[in-house]
Amino acid sequence: MTSWEGALVTGGAGFIGSHLSERLLAEGHRVTILDDLSVGRRENVPAGAELVIGDVCDPDVVGPLVARADVVFHLAAHVSIRASMSGFAHDARVNLMGTVNLLDACARAQRTRKFILASSMGVYADSPTPDPIGETHPTQPIAPYGVGKLASEQYAALVARATGMQATMLRYFNTYGPRQTYTPYVGVVTIFVRRLLGGQPPVVLGDGEQCRDFVHVDDIVQANLLALDENDPQPQIYNVGSGRGTTINELARMLCDRLAPGTRPEFADPHPGELRYSVADISRARSRLGYAPKRALSRDLDGVVEWCRVQASSRP
């Protein structure tokens, strides 16, 4: 593994960023986390990481951190496709301008060798079938969140080419796992588990036949570490998913069977801005990075259930 002196993880007090930070520390990297704790939590920050509480959009905060970071993992974002429909100005301010601000700091400091962006399946146009889509699938986001992620990718590629920094864009698909930040709008696995643990049926939006690629957070971390080791002067883009599609009805069934046999989901109107089919073709990440997902939804839901149980029992 290449030796990296300092890693800056933005959004490292959140769900994915905290798992990534933990793993980086275990691999012997020095980790600084920048998070404004708007959603992330102090208790998610692993021992050994330095936490800087601040806004990724603030040049005075970001500048000094980037000046001592060999690698930047940029995960800080306002993570809600649905909320981005009405709150697109806020989405763009945090998600796009946060990225631009970080890149500007990288260009000024000339220290960072690698920039790894948490992008999203939200950059893609909706797919007419549940077949896996590759990185060449048309990028035509149907929600502002995807527009911000796509523009972030493009800025990162441009700045990387202009400055000689390496850049990798990882397009995460629907990530699940313990510690997923709970909001009523993000993370359908956690939302369904919490409802079932509270004695309520899951609410499926639309007909439930929309298909998603659920990827475990450990596999997302794996992809980030592999991207760290890739040594390509050209900016690269990779899908990071499981490569398998699961409908929301199938997910609801799996969870009802586990947690409340006999329960049937309720149905509600679909929300605008949601993709119908979103399944990753991961062959590019497999062949170029050596990425191989190790987790499977059917096996690894238990970890989420357990985590949600503990959370529920510790709530006042």
Ligand X SMILES: NC(=O)c1ccc[n+]([C@@H]2O[C@H](COP(=O)([O-])OP(=O)(O)OC[C@H]3O[C@@H](n4cnc5c(N)ncnc54)[C@H](O)[C@@H]3O)[C@@H](O)[C@H]2O)c1
Q: What positions carry a catalytic annotation?
A: 145
Q: Should residue 98 be labelled a site residue for ligand X when binding is judged by CB under 6 A?
A: yes
Q: Residues 261-268: contacts with CB within 8 Å, 24+ apart?
A: 263/196, 263/201, 264/201, 265/201, 265/202, 265/203, 265/204, 265/208, 266/201, 266/202, 266/203, 266/204, 267/203, 267/204, 267/205, 267/206, 267/207, 267/208, 268/203, 268/204, 268/205
Q: What radius of gyration, in Å, describes the C-alpha atoms of the chain?
A: 19
- Pick between residue 92 and residue 259 the one whose CB is nearest to ligand X: 92
**Residues facing residue 238 across a β-bridge:** 170
Instruction: Compute the CA torsion angle 130, 301, 171, 12 (nearest 10 deg).
Output: 160
Interface pick for ligand X out of 21, 99, 120, 263 (rule CB under 6 A): 120
For 182, counting Cβ atoms within 10 Å of its Cβ (0-12 exposed, 13-18 middle, 19+ buried), the class is: middle
- Residue at token pair 């990827």: 215
Q: Which stretch binds ligand X (CB under 6 A): 33-41, 130-138, 161-169, 202-210?
A: 33-41
DSSP single-letter state for residue 125 = P
Q: Should residue 92 be labelled a site residue for ligand X when binding is judged by CB under 6 A?
A: no
Beta strands 203-205 and 114-120, pairing class: unpaired
**Of the candidates 188, 201, 313, the residue with the CA atom closest to the CA atom of residue 247:** 188
Q: How far is the CB of 133 from ligand X (least distance, A)?
A: 14
Q: Which stretch binds ligand X (CB under 6 A): 15-23, 99-107, 221-229, 261-269?
A: 15-23
Q: In what helix (H) or strand (E) does residue 150 lie, and over which residues does it extend? A: helix 144-163
279, 200 contact by CB (below 8 A): no
Interface pick for ligand X out of 9, 77, 96, 196 (rule CB under 6 A): 77
- Pick between residue 94 and residue 159 the one whose CB is nearest to ligand X: 94
Coil/strand/helix, residue 215: strand
Interface pick for ligand X out of 155, 172, 192, 277 (rule CB under 6 A): 172
- Pick between residue 195 and residue 216 the one whose CB is nearest to ligand X: 216
Q: Should residue 91 be labelled a site residue for ligand X when binding is judged by CB under 6 A?
A: no
- Pick between residue 35 and residue 300 the one whose CB is nearest to ligand X: 35
Q: Should residue 311 be labelled a site residue for ligand X when binding is judged by CB under 6 A?
A: no
Q: Which stretch binds ligand X (CB under 6 A): 37-45, 157-165, 203-211, 221-229?
A: 37-45
Q: Should residue 14 be labelled a site residue for ligand X when binding is judged by CB under 6 A?
A: yes
Interface pick for ligand X out of 78, 194, 216, 244 (rule CB under 6 A): 78
Q: How far is the CB of 103 from ligand X (least distance, A)?
A: 15
Q: Should residue 51 be labelled a site residue for ligand X when binding is judged by CB under 6 A?
A: no
Interface pick for ligand X out of 7, 8, 9, 13 (rule CB under 6 A): 13
Q: How far is the CB of 124 from ligand X (least distance, A)?
A: 11
Q: Should residue 15 be labelled a site residue for ligand X when binding is judged by CB under 6 A?
A: yes
Structure-block tokens of residue 122: 């939200």
Which residues contact ligand X by CB under 6 A?
Answer: 11, 13-17, 34-40, 55-57, 75-79, 94, 98, 118, 120, 172, 174-175, 181
